[in-house]
Chains A and B, each alone.
Chain A
Amino acid sequence: MNFHAALRVTCRIWLALLLVSVAHAQEGHPMSGVWVGDWGLDGAQQKRVVVVLDWMGTKLSGTINPGPNAIPIKTATVDTADWTLHLEADAQNSNGQPVSYVIDGKLDDLGTYNRSLAGSWNVGAEHGTFSITRQ
């Protein structure tokens, strides 16, 4: 098994552990939890994404794609008037250059166990959409 294959397996293990650890429905802060879904550039093939969000008492924190290539969320704010979410995160592109993600979404089906978040993201001149569901 080469390094990249091992990395993929490690990521799967991380994801499995995360999903097992939060297999129960959560009724606390509506944004807390593990969210899984797809994201991608407008019109392009969508990719899998995992977002972990935690309500820390007075603010949200979280990680995108936890694992060896995790992207920590720098800023996370919720407007509970309409349950919209704004995220900002810094990462590196495929060339190793720093890039900043700006993500905006809206919560749907607030009261249900498997509620969903959908919206748009921007990184530089690129735009895309995402849709994730809480596990």
Chain B
Amino acid sequence: MFAGKLKRLIPALGMALVLCTSITTVSAHHVPEAKFDPDKPMQLRGSVSKIDWLNPHVHLFVEVEAGGTTTSWAVELENTLELRRNGWTSSTLKSGDVITVQGMAARDNSRQVWGESVIVESTGQRVFTVSPAVPPVYANGPTPRWPDGHPRLGAPAGQGGGYWDFPSKSSLMEDGVEVVMDSSGLLANIEDADNVAPFQPWALDLYKYRQQNFLRDDPMFTGCKTQAGPRIFQRPYGVRLLEEIDHNRIRNFWGDGNQNWRTIFLDGREQTGRPEGNSEDPLYWGHAVGSWVGDTLVIDTIGFNDSFWFSNGGLPNTPQLHLIERFSRPDLATLHYEVTIDDPSAYTRTWTSSWDMVWVPDAELPVYYCQDNRP
């Protein structure tokens, strides 16, 4: 009988880049230095054979003649969203245009270059330049509120659009710590690593490893894995907190990554999060329950898996991660975000990090699809 059951069970068991932001370019993907060497500047001149307008980086293919032979080079540029934001399109250049490119060469000596400057020979025009986005300028005002007095975390009454962007910190670091990082969370000085957070030894070594490899293994870039946890509030392209008052919940959307969302329940349900997930606890985002404490929304989240990086810069996290987030809006223009990190498998004690974000009124979230990412 045992053997028969096993036989019936057997069929059922048959299932079984070169990115992020650099210091000079506010972008959404891998750190260029992960693939290109700043100590290997290079220039090339050739004619454009093809433009590959895809994330995470647009590529120009250029035919370069030298010494009687022609070689094909790939010039890597920013992502499509960042280039469009600066007025460039896939038709900015045509096949046959002759260009001069200055940039840095690939670490592996392949025929690839990170394009820091692209100049069209026929016009002398410099194309595909990217300027960092800047916060909007408008008259600030008091905190918008719901009829029950709670701060609104989205648009003021009567206004539909808007989102939060321009975080004042680019990566998690314990409050009170002052270390210099770029916009992707890369430390200016690796010696600062052990000041960033109260790491367990293994977590510090892994953090250093990720830093020293320019975050090249970030699953958000290598596999279009979602950002989750506090990282949602430090990525480019902003976040939206859509308050569904009738349902006592908030939907949290973000402009970067793979276009997912998390749900924050405010209806008093119990905390039931678990890393393997359930119907109200989708993998990656954990189970978030919250309530208002005065003018501060307090969110408690557990049940994360460990298939993502919870911070720019590669700070480690484990399935023991427990977050307590506090949102407050002291005025129209400012969202103050504070997160307490309790992950005893990676850190020696709980610790807190906080930063501000800026309200971008009358606008929809930008959309960056990592699903478009070139394999």
- Sample of 22 A–B contacts (CB below 8 Å): A1-B2, A5-B3, A6-B3, A16-B13, A20-B15, A21-B276, A23-B16, A24-B283, A25-B225, A25-B307, A26-B307, A27-B317, A28-B319, A29-B206, A32-B318, A55-B202, A58-B345, A78-B202, A80-B205, A111-B210, A111-B216, A113-B223
Tell me the complex Cα distance, A113–B21, Å.
23
B residues less than 8 Å from A5 (CB atoms): 3
Interface centre among B202, B206, B319 (most CB of A within 10 A): B202
Considering the complex, which residues of chain B in the window 299-313 have a beta carbon less than 8 Å from any beta carbon of chain A?
305-309
Report the 10 A-B pairs with minimum CB-CB distance, sorted nearest first.
A111-B217, A1-B3, A28-B306, A80-B205, A28-B318, A16-B13, A57-B345, A80-B202, A24-B307, A9-B6
Pair A24/B305 contact, Cβ less than 8 Å: yes
Known contacts: A27-B316, A80-B201. The answer to whether A6 contacts B307 by CB under 8 A is no
Report the separation of the CA atoms of residues A129 and B2 in the bound assembly, to the nearest whole angstrom: 37
How far is the CB of B108 from the nearest CB of chain A, in Å?
16
Q: Of all chain B residues, which has the CB nearest A33? A: B306
**Chain B, Cβ-Cβ closest to A81:** B205
* Chain B residue at minimal CB-CB distance from A112: B217
Return chain A residues, CB-CB under 8 Å to B317. 27-28
Q: How far is the CA of A34 from the CA of B255 in the complex (A)?
A: 34
Please state if A27 and B219 are interface contacts (CB–CB under 8 Å): yes
Q: Is A67 an interface residue (CB 8 A)?
A: no
Chain A residues near B276: list those with CB within 8 A: 21
B306 cross-chain contacts in A, Cβ below 8 A? 26-28, 32
What string of 1s and 0s marks CB contacts (under 8 Å) between A9-26 and chain B? 110110011011101111
Q: Which residues of A contact B209 (CB under 8 A)?
A: 110-111
Contacts of A19 in B (CB 8 A): 16
User: Which residues of B come within 8 Å of A, CB atoms?
Assistant: 2-3, 6-7, 9-10, 13, 15-16, 200-202, 205-206, 209-210, 213, 216-217, 219, 222-223, 225, 276, 283, 305-309, 316-320, 344-346
Q: Given A1-B2, A10-B6, 19 other A-B contacts at CB below 8 A?
A: A6-B3, A6-B6, A16-B13, A20-B15, A25-B219, A26-B305, A27-B306, A27-B307, A27-B308, A28-B319, A30-B206, A32-B306, A58-B345, A78-B202, A80-B206, A110-B206, A111-B210, A111-B216, A113-B223
**A1 cross-chain contacts in B, Cβ below 8 A:** 2-3, 6-7
Partner of B13, one of A13, A23, A110, A113: A13
- Nearest to A110 among chain B residues (CB) is B209
* Dominant secondary structure of chain B at its interface with chain A: loop
A side interface size, CB within 8 A: 33
Q: Are A28 and B217 in contact (CB under 8 A)?
A: no
Closest-CB distance, A3 to chain B (whole angstroms) = 9
Chain A min CB distance to B276 (Å): 8
Whole-angstrom CA separation of A25 from B222 in the bound complex:
12
CB distance from A74 to the nearest CB of B (A): 20
Q: State the CA gap A16–B9 with chains docked (Å).
A: 11
Per the bound structure, the CA–CA distance linking A29 and B223 in Å amounts to: 19
Q: Which B residue sits closest to A16, measured CB to CB?
A: B13
Q: Which residues of B contact A16 (CB under 8 A)?
A: 13, 16
Residue of B nearest to A26 (CB): B306
Q: How far is the CA of A25 from the CA of B205 in the complex (A)?
A: 20
Q: Provide the bound-state CA to CA distance between A55 and B10, in Å.
A: 31
Report Cα–Cα, A26/B222, bound state, in Å: 13
> Contact mask A86-126 → B, CB, 8 Å, 1/0?
00000000000000000000000011110000000000000
Q: Flag if B320 contacts A57 (CB, 8 Å).
A: yes
- A contact residues around B16 at 8 Å (CB): 16, 19-20, 23
Contact yes or no, A25 B320, CB < 8 A? no
Closest to B307 in A: A24
Contact B2 A6 (CB under 8 A): yes
**Interfacial residues of chain A within 30-83, with CB under 8 A of chain B in the complex:** 30, 32, 55-58, 78, 80-81, 83
| A residues in contact with B13, CB < 8 Å | 12-13, 16-17
B316 partner residues in chain A, CB cutoff 8 A: 27-29
| Residue of A whose beta carbon sits closest to that of B308 | A27
With A20-B15, A55-B345 as known contacts, state yes or no: A9 contacts B206, CB within 8 Å. Answer: no
Q: How far is the CA of A55 from the CA of B345 in the complex (A)?
A: 8
* In the bound complex, CA of A27 to CA of B308 (Å): 6
A9 to B13, CA, bound (A): 11
Shortest Cβ distance from A55 into B: residue: B345
B265 to chain A, nearest CB (A): 24
**A8 to B: closest C-beta gap in Å:** 10
A29 and B346 alpha carbons, distance in the complex (Å):
8
